[in-house]
Structure 1
Amino acid sequence: MTEAYLMKGKPENGNDAKMENGKTRPSQKKEGTLDQMKSEDIVNYLYGRGHPHPISEGVSEMRELLLDSGFDEIYTSFFVSRRDLRELTGELYPVLRDSVYHLSWVRPAPLGPTPDVDRRLMARFPDLDRAELWNILDALDEDSSGEELLAQLMDELGLDVDDALTVMNMIPELNRGDPEVGDMTLRSFMPTSWLSTLEAIFDPENLPLRLFTVATAFRREAELDSSHIRTYNILSLAIGDDDLTLEKGMAVLRRIFDNQGLSDISFLEKSYQFPFFEKGTEIEIFGGDLELGTCGMCSGEILSSRGVTTPVFIADIGVERVLMHRYGYPDIRQLLYPQFFAAWNLTDEEIASSLRYLRKPQTDYGREIARAIHRTYRECREKEEDEKRTAWKGILASSDYGKFLVTEERAKELGIDGRPAEVVLRESRKGMGLCGPGAFNEIWVDQGNVVSVPPNMAKTLEERGASRTNKTFVKAFSRYAAWKIERSLERGHTSRKVEKIRDLEGINLKLTSKALYYILSHKKKVDVQGPVYLSFSFRVKDPR
């Protein structure tokens, strides 16, 4: 998908909202609003960093994983017509239709003058323009809305909002009538919402097609239990290419699950097939005994009816199910609504083991660079006179599998040629040396609280029974630096400077959602801060 497609429909300036007549929408600010209040008159609640919900955290992680893998993000419609639903469910429609939410609404009908209503209205509002009122009511049709009617009563009859509402409530026809079922449903099965998108953007000259969306789906489950809810989030992806097969699509999913640290993943052919998929290709995905989602090859007949002439693989992965499998939630409701369900009971040791690196190197050379950076910081931690020091030297080489880094010694041993490359640690603040006084702070868990302390306090915490995480600020920074270097081989340079730490994410760390919600629900704290003053740069030099 091209950049032009992604920019399609985007205004040149998001602040210049245009009305249909081409004029700029006037400002809605009024005197006396908060915009005119002095900042010192407002109590400041804007400080620190809040904690994300585990679902939004999981969604964010999955989005970044797909974006980093070259997939383009799109939105698909919440609404699916019953015609499309019937076409894509085929013989399963009688089985599935009662699990779909069918949309309905009240359709206003034109109203004629009613003596009884007239009499009561004139008694309540003797100065009401009766003829104008019935002109307004006469114009009602199935496309009219209650909000529009309220605005007309206020604008054309000069009523305030309370009187206009009173008029509307005195007309029985505006308060009666059952909703009528329309032609639209809320999406319950993601394949049904993919079809119109594939039809709209398919271009045989621009393959492979790699798209994803994180979408909310709605299912009228008969019963709610530990693994079934009526609204849930789905990571849905679509791949289209001329030589695409089911096996290739499943290989992509295995790589995605591996990158998320998920194990015990299995694929089983579904016992009954959704007609949207080619026969024999719909596969259920399991994490242990928990179903995580489905995948399969789209029906060629259905695709060709919409002008799509290449094979398409679609996978739907339940975000909540993935988080349940990863973190061991026994009940999906605990994950969704921790404020209403029993909190987790975790020991300090369990919380300590739940502290993870946000970013870490994925290759052998990346891990080697991370160790070299950490080792160099340890060697120069007390040397304030150091302004810079080379932590790693090697060459950038190429192979059939892409670019990679290798040490000078190893390159000579293997006879590999390439461009010189080096990682340099630099002084972040004059006179500070290569790292600040808090760079080697250790992270511990003490009675449910996550804290960072200088190394000389470690013994005290250990004697109190606190749990060591085996993570320090400088160790986390070293891993982030190596990860960033891995991703910069094409452009040949990158750098990063971190001065003061105020939270875990600021130094490349995070707690699992399970541990974080235990801490919040038990009124514990995460107190991680310190002056680290760390800086590195990576550069590939031009060949001599």
Structure 2
Amino acid sequence: MKKKEILKLAKRDFEKAWVETGKSLKNPHHDDEYPRLHFQPGRTHPLSDTMAQLRQAYLLLGFEETLNPLFIEEEHVYRQFGPEAPAVLDRCFYLAGLPRPDIGISMEKIAQIESMGVSLDEDKIRGIKDVFRSYKKGDTSGDDLVHDVSSALEVLDETGLRVMERVFPELKELTPISSKTTLRSHMTSGWFITLESLHQNSPLPVKLFSIDRCFRREQREDASHLMTYHSASCVWMDDEVSLDMGMAVSESLLEYFGFKKFKFLPDEKKSKYYIPGTQTEVYGYHPKLNEWVEVATFGLYSPIALAKYGIDQQVMNLGVGAERIAMILGGHKDIREMVYPHTYGKWGLSDREIASMIHMNLYPVTDDGRKLMESIINTAIEHGETKSPCEFITFQGEFMGKDLEVKIIEPEAGTKLLGPASWNRVHVYDGNIVGVPQPAEMERFQSPDDIVEEVLGNLGKEVMDELAIQALKKGVPTGISYMAGVAAQAAYHMEEMVVSGEEEIKLRTTIAKSPSDINLKLDELAMRHINSKNKVIDIRGPIFCTITGKI
């Protein structure tokens, strides 16, 4: 079924549409049944990389990892912030849930169910009442409600879903009711709860860190604000803790990321859970950025807030935004693009990714065919510059059980066996696919620089435009020459000739204008990238190669 048909059916009858989609599954090729995956490196997320580094840095500094409570009751915010709590709660998300209604089975509803072709008796009616009663009490999960109703009615789940949709609208009309529980908006809310349990049961000093999500009800998400972020936070609890401890920990932690110089400035926000005058912003100078950036905040917890949790020790707290560090290290300007690159980032493919999506279309499948391909290339290398008319036998002997003779020929006078673009190779540069003139015998060159010097010198810079020059110098080489594509295609057709019973074949390649002219194909994704970015595929060039095969 096509997408539009699926959506149309789902709107009319969701359960039927859902069942129909199950019929679209195809049996895999027998080679792909129960596939075994091989380990190979994937791609990490920059934020995850940064959090892993933060975790390692804290561990090296002797901190123990913990997880703080994520669900924070409203009263904890009042205990920590005092009169400031209402303003803080304004940025918190409150948890809400749907109430479980009393659902009755009236005569009208019984008639509705029977009108849908479901036969009812006293046992079934009693069964469905039991299901709704269990649901109201919380003994039945909402996930299981449709199945349990269907079982009570002794019908298929799709019929049970239709009954639920049409006969019991009260389930769709439920309105969430808020609780007094919030999602943690800052790690401090969790630290007080954790330290309350630890302060009399752990030897001092207590050194803990936690790297976890916090949630903040921002007015909007933009380049510098998300409604969820990761706080890399630590606490140091002891009988006496000085503000200098915050400086020492922040310096040591950030030196791990290459920061060399630091400065500490009073934070104007003055949160009430810190002792007045201790809330401090940390600025680090990163040589790569060549500028000062705000990277952390620390302070000493207020004795008032600590006393409300029965804690009589002193506590230093340091908080680092993991996203902030990741943006600095990666040079990102928009937090949305960094955290959600597939949603907000500008879509594109790297040159290396595009290069991996360029393949030969036809390629010999037998050992004889692959050896023939190699023989054609070797003959072309040896005699490609021979003046025409000329012909050379590239293979003579047994081929797939037949006696085969293959030649490269050029009957026309005044040219050469091969055209000047035969040894062009395909490069990818800045999203463009470019054919670049190169020597036939690449093996004699020691480095890419030697190849560039040869091409721009001996082969003639005049035959190359600026894009080809840059592709040669900076692009990603695919290693595919025009002649290799032609040879692979010829060997493949020789295999076809033997299988089909033909006696001879003649293949002629003239001027390359598109990838298919040199037996190349490009993945659809790469083609979409090239078109959307207004990039080019330029592999023009004269090949003029004729290959014959005869049984």
Change (3 A) 1:246 1:462: farther
**In the alignment, what sits opposite 2:62?**
70
Q: 1: CA distance between counterparts of 2:301 and 2:38?
A: 48
Q: 2: CA distance between counterparts of 1:297 and 1:341?
A: 39
Give unmatched runs, 5+ long, in structure 2. Answer: 1-28, 285-290, 353-427, 432-442, 454-468, 475-531, 534-551
**In the alignment, what sits opposite 1:292?**
295
**In the alignment, what sits opposite 1:259?**
256
**In the alignment, what sits opposite 1:325?**
328
Asked whether 1:232 is paired with 2:229, we answer: yes
Look up the SS of the partner of 1:222 in the other structure: coil
Change (3 A) 1:134 1:231: same
Q: 1: CA distance between counterparts of 2:306 and 2:50?
A: 31
Q: 2: CA distance between counterparts of 1:246 and 1:273?
A: 15
Pair member with larger Rg:
2
**In the alignment, what sits opposite 1:245?**
242
| Preserved contact between residue 264 and residue 281 of structure 2 (Cα < 8 Å) | yes
**1:155 Cα offset (Å):** 4.6
Asked whether 1:131 is paired with 2:126, we answer: yes
**In the alignment, what sits opposite 2:143?**
147
Change (3 A) 1:42 1:133: closer
Look up the SS of the partner of 2:298 in the other structure: strand
Look up the SS of the partner of 2:178 in the other structure: strand
Look up the SS of the partner of 1:262 in the other structure: coil
| Preserved contact between residue 290 and residue 321 of structure 1 (Cα < 8 Å) | no
Q: 1: CA distance between counterparts of 2:175 and 2:241?
A: 49
**In the alignment, what sits opposite 1:460?**
450
Q: 2: CA distance between counterparts of 1:101 and 1:290?
A: 29
TM-score between the two structures when normalised by the length of structure 1: 0.55
1:254 aligned partner, one-letter code: E
1:257 aligned partner, one-letter code: L
Change (3 A) 1:296 1:137: same
| Preserved contact between residue 104 and residue 182 of structure 1 (Cα < 8 Å) | yes
With 99-108 and 162-171 compared, the bigger mean Cα shift is at 162-171
Q: 2: CA distance between counterparts of 1:462 and 1:242?
A: 69
Specify which structure has the higher proportion of helix.
2
**In the alignment, what sits opposite 1:101?**
93
2:255 aligned partner, one-letter code: D
Change (3 A) 1:301 1:153: same
Of all paired residues, the percent bearing the same amino acid is 25
Give unmatched runs, 5+ long, in structure 1. Answer: 1-36, 349-445, 468-520, 523-544
With 236-245 and 185-194 compared, the bigger mean Cα shift is at 236-245
**1:333 Cα offset (Å):** 2.1
Look up the SS of the partner of 1:276 in the other structure: coil
1:321-400 pair list within 5 angstroms? 321-339=324-342, 340-342=344-346
1:416-495 pair list within 5 angstroms? 456-457=446-447, 459-460=449-450
Q: 1: CA distance between counterparts of 2:340 and 2:119?
A: 53
| Preserved contact between residue 111 and residue 140 of structure 1 (Cα < 8 Å) | no
1:270 aligned partner, one-letter code: D
| Preserved contact between residue 250 and residue 296 of structure 2 (Cα < 8 Å) | no
Look up the SS of the partner of 1:141 in the other structure: helix
Match of 1:167 among 163, 170, 178: 163
1:330 aligned partner, one-letter code: K
2:215 aligned partner, one-letter code: F
Change (3 A) 1:219 1:42: same
Change (3 A) 1:284 1:131: same
Match of 1:202 among 199, 202, 219: 199
Match of 1:314 among 306, 314, 317: 317
| Preserved contact between residue 110 and residue 140 of structure 1 (Cα < 8 Å) | no
Q: 2: CA distance between counterparts of 1:313 and 1:323?
A: 24
Change (3 A) 1:75 1:205: closer
Q: 1: CA distance between counterparts of 2:177 and 2:145?
A: 20
Change (3 A) 1:241 1:159: farther
Look up the SS of the partner of 2:341 in the other structure: coil
Q: 2: CA distance between counterparts of 1:346 and 1:321?
A: 25
| Preserved contact between residue 186 and residue 218 of structure 1 (Cα < 8 Å) | yes
Q: C-alpha root-mean-square deviation of aligned residues, in Å? A: 3.8
Look up the SS of the partner of 1:126 in the other structure: coil
| Preserved contact between residue 109 and residue 142 of structure 1 (Cα < 8 Å) | no
Q: 2: CA distance between counterparts of 1:305 and 1:138?
A: 43
Q: 2: CA distance between counterparts of 1:462 and 1:66?
A: 48
**In the alignment, what sits opposite 1:80?**
72
Q: 1: CA distance between counterparts of 2:303 and 2:106?
A: 59
| Preserved contact between residue 107 and residue 142 of structure 1 (Cα < 8 Å) | no
